[in-house]
Structure 1
Amino acid sequence: MKGPLSGLRIGLLTPWASRAGGGVFEVVALQAGMIRAAGGESLVFALDRGHADEDTARFARGSLRLCRQVGPSFLGYAPDMVDVLVGADLDLLHLHGIWMYPSAAGAAWARRTGRPYIVSPHGMLDPWITGRGRWKKALARAGYERRSWQASACFHALTQREAEDIRRESGRADTIVIPNAGPLATIRSSGFPPPQVVYIGRIHPKKNLLPLVAAWKAAARPAEARLVIAGWGAEADVAALTAAIGDDLSIDYIGPIFGEAKDALIAGARYVVLPSLSEGLPMAILEAWAAGVPTIMTDECNLPEGLEANAAVPCGFDAAAIAAALDMALAMPPQDWAIMAANARQLYEERFSAAHVASAWVGTYARLAAANARFAGA
């Protein structure tokens, strides 16, 4: 297929090539499709961390290369990853996610090939993240992250705020800012939905779900209102969530949900909620806006556009602040909610649609590959 990326072999390197990677996996899958649509060849390199068999269909046949990892899971060391990358004869390599061995492998590939290497931290340089597991991150910085950052042709940030985090941590000022693309909505909301609020994502402390549950119980909500929590996480985090829910029949924890079932859940919600303490650029919010569903979210979701466009209701981090936001959102008249829903759809189309984001990435990939070709031919 001819296109602006025709003839280019672009590698996407990530610790996760399955739903275990949450939003980063979704971004990688969408990025691979965007490269193919522009005429390029996308190859995905990842650690074999489970669930890959269930999600292989998200990538083109034969394009996924899984590397066996050994040693501690948090490190993700894969002894053959560098050789696999070098042997793929890539024109450009794009790392998605940091703090694990793929960062070291990407830097080694860049040094051995002299070809462009892009680093996308996906919010992993946010102060909330860097403040956790400090000794592991100190070892990663000293052992391989700084070499990876130095080897990169450029950093990629999802938001201007993330670009500032990158500058603070790396000293690099050459960051490109391109948002994630939200997926196409297969189901759009219609009419005024029942008072159902939905959370979709990881069950993890940074998502701030325990205060959300407490807020729901305290909110002055309609009698028929329901909070639906869908997601996956560590056993201890899930246990803490279910204990907090207790016997409250207005809250459902339904576990992981994917595909058409997830799309239907979002489209049938009055709001999607994300009271997060730390995000890069959350796919759940973009999925909601694509379906025409307003959101309830904190500033840490890094999407001030939603508040400016009246597509989102702001909330704080503690139970009282989240309850106040829920009260306001669920008391909103149908006509006002319909305006927010229309604003959400418009914002998605103008800022976060696949076409808009693909245009920015195609230009970036083509520019870096062309610059490298000129340098190599000089």
Structure 2
Amino acid sequence: MDSPAPLAGKRIGLLSAWASRLGGGVYEAVLTQGDVLRSLGAEPLVFALRDSHSAGDAARFGDIAVQTFAVKGPGQIGYAPELVTALHAAQLDCLHLHGIWMYPSLAASRWAAQSGKGFVISPHGMLDPWITARGRWKKALARAGYERTSWRRASFLHALTLAEKADIARESGREDSMVIANSGPAPAAMPAAPRPPHLVYIGRIHPKKNLLALVAAWGQARRRSDARLTLAGWGEPGDVAALEAAVAAAGPSVEFVGPAYGAAKQALLDSARFTVLPSHSEGLPMSVLDSWAAGVPTIMTGQCNLPDGFAAGAAIACGYDPDTIAPALEQALSFADGDYLRMARAARDLAAGPFSAPTIAACWAGAYRAAMSQGAKP
């Protein structure tokens, strides 16, 4: 960072379909990006579609201005007729779109075409093959209708990982994506002693998270009688009901506690020996960065796109089916105290180093300056 406030006075819009818990990790990333911009001296302004939780969850943005817009027609499309006008009225220097496949992509693209100003797109893993294979006809219509134009018009697309950069290149034809990881929260003090045999999942309840396989693996794993698995999160009613049924059949060592935010979420992290994310598809999961900042190592798949965790000894690799998840659970629960504390230290060191807010903010300072300098593509 070449000055204390490299983006001083700049108004940067953060546009997403969600400014609430319904956005899962994208919502958490937008929250974090607001803090990044404030640290750089910019004024962040949040724009999102209105949903059943957006009014209540807006408080998490603090004094950052949040505008939400009523949706007309199908919620999956997210058409908000007032959105483009509001983007222009905000007199932005740059617009940063978080997430794709819905009307905010078209609104952002129109704003960029009309203003000529800097325009950044963060797909947040939504070009991963597991995602693009679902709802193919809807995504084909979105590509033809507006996404290809939006991708072409962006000053640049932002990839969370090198794997996502390859996904973006395959889908958009653009090889110039900037790779910048998400930043995690400030690291906490190291655990004073090894944690009890308690494994935790915190996040969205969705098929891609592979939680039914996790619960089945827990039933297969050889473990101490006092070992526990706690799952916390939110999701569509059908997905939650399926998880609740699996948990009920798994016995008293497994518990689903519903959504966990703020102090409740921190209490779960503070009690966890490991967190678990056996996901089929991720961009760069904020839940893992939260875990590392709390000094809690993780069990995760390669699709979490955080090879740093495996390389540093802060994570255990697992597969996608119960037979390949269960051995990872057994390994996590069998570490000697010294080995476990070394993993916890490695996790915290990642949070304090390559994924720290100052490190990531310095990368974004240069990226936003580049976007504003070159403006939107014709």
TM-score by length of 1: 0.96
Residue equivalent to 2:203 = 201
Secondary structure in 1 matching 2:203: strand
Secondary structure in 2 matching 1:246: helix
Superposition deviation, residue 246 in structure 1: 2.1
One-letter amino acid matched to 1:291: A
Q: After superposition, what is the alpha-carbon deviation per residue over 1:244-280, rounded to whole angstroms, capped at 9, x for unaligned?
A: 1224100000000001110121121000000000000
Secondary structure in 2 matching 1:45: strand
Check the 8 A contact 2:39/2:361 in 1, yes or no. Answer: no
Distance in 2 of aligned mates of 1:298 and 1:36: 33
Check the 8 A contact 1:158/1:180 in 2, yes or no. Answer: yes
* CA 47–287 in structure 1, closer or farther in 2 if over 3 Å, else same: same
| Worse-superposed segment, 26-35 or 312-321 | 26-35
Superposition deviation, residue 228 in structure 1: 0.2
Check the 8 A contact 1:85/1:109 in 2, yes or no. Answer: yes
Residue equivalent to 2:235 = 233
One-letter amino acid matched to 1:94: H
Distance in 1 of aligned mates of 2:264 and 2:192: 17
Check the 8 A contact 1:272/1:294 in 2, yes or no. Answer: yes
Superposition deviation, residue 56 in structure 1: 1.7
1:140 pairs with 2:109 = no
Q: After superposition, what is the alpha-carbon deviation per residue over 1:69-115, rounded to whole angstroms, capped at 9, x for unaligned?
A: 11101100001111111111111000000000000000000000000
Secondary structure in 1 matching 2:34: helix
Residue equivalent to 2:341 = 338
Question: Which has the higher relative contact order, 1 or 2, with Cα contacts under 8 A spaced 6 or more apart?
Answer: 2
Distance in 2 of aligned mates of 1:370 and 1:190: 48
* CA 189–74 in structure 1, closer or farther in 2 if over 3 Å, else same: farther
One-letter amino acid matched to 2:302: D
One-letter amino acid matched to 1:136: K
Secondary structure in 2 matching 1:119: strand
| Worse-superposed segment, 335-344 or 182-191 | 182-191
Q: Cα RMSD between the aligned structures? A: 1.6
| Equivalent residue for 2:99, pick from 97, 100, 103 | 97
| Equivalent residue for 2:247, pick from 238, 245, 249 | 245
Structure 1, unaligned stretches of length 5 or more?
Answer: none
Residue equivalent to 2:316 = 313
Residue equivalent to 1:176 = 178
Structure 2, unaligned stretches of length 5 or more?
Answer: none
Distance in 1 of aligned mates of 2:105 and 2:208: 23
Distance in 2 of aligned mates of 1:121 and 1:266: 28
| Equivalent residue for 2:295, pick from 272, 292, 297 | 292
One-letter amino acid matched to 1:265: L
Residue equivalent to 2:18 = 16
Superposition deviation, residue 61 in structure 1: 3.2
Distance in 2 of aligned mates of 1:143 and 1:291: 43
Distance in 2 of aligned mates of 1:230 and 1:50: 20
Residue equivalent to 1:131 = 133
One-letter amino acid matched to 2:131: I
Secondary structure in 2 matching 1:255: coil
Check the 8 A contact 2:279/2:300 in 1, yes or no. Answer: yes
Superposition deviation, residue 60 in structure 1: 4.5
Superposition deviation, residue 190 in structure 1: 3.1
1:108 pairs with 2:110 = yes
Superposition deviation, residue 189 in structure 1: 3.3
Check the 8 A contact 2:155/2:374 in 1, yes or no. Answer: no
| Worse-superposed segment, 254-263 or 55-64 | 55-64
Aligned residues: 374
Superposition deviation, residue 203 in structure 1: 0.7
Superposition deviation, residue 363 in structure 1: 1.6
* CA 237–352 in structure 1, closer or farther in 2 if over 3 Å, else same: same
Superposition map of 1:61-72 within 5 A = 61=63, 63-72=65-74
Check the 8 A contact 1:186/1:263 in 2, yes or no. Answer: no
Distance in 2 of aligned mates of 1:37 and 1:57: 19
Residue equivalent to 1:163 = 165
Superposition map of 1:20-59 within 5 A = 20-59=22-61
One-letter amino acid matched to 1:108: R
One-letter amino acid matched to 1:290: A
* CA 297–165 in structure 1, closer or farther in 2 if over 3 Å, else same: same
Distance in 2 of aligned mates of 1:204 and 1:86: 35
Superposition deviation, residue 65 in structure 1: 1.1
Residue equivalent to 2:281 = 278
Residue equivalent to 2:350 = 347
Distance in 2 of aligned mates of 1:255 and 1:269: 17
Check the 8 A contact 2:121/2:157 in 1, yes or no. Answer: yes
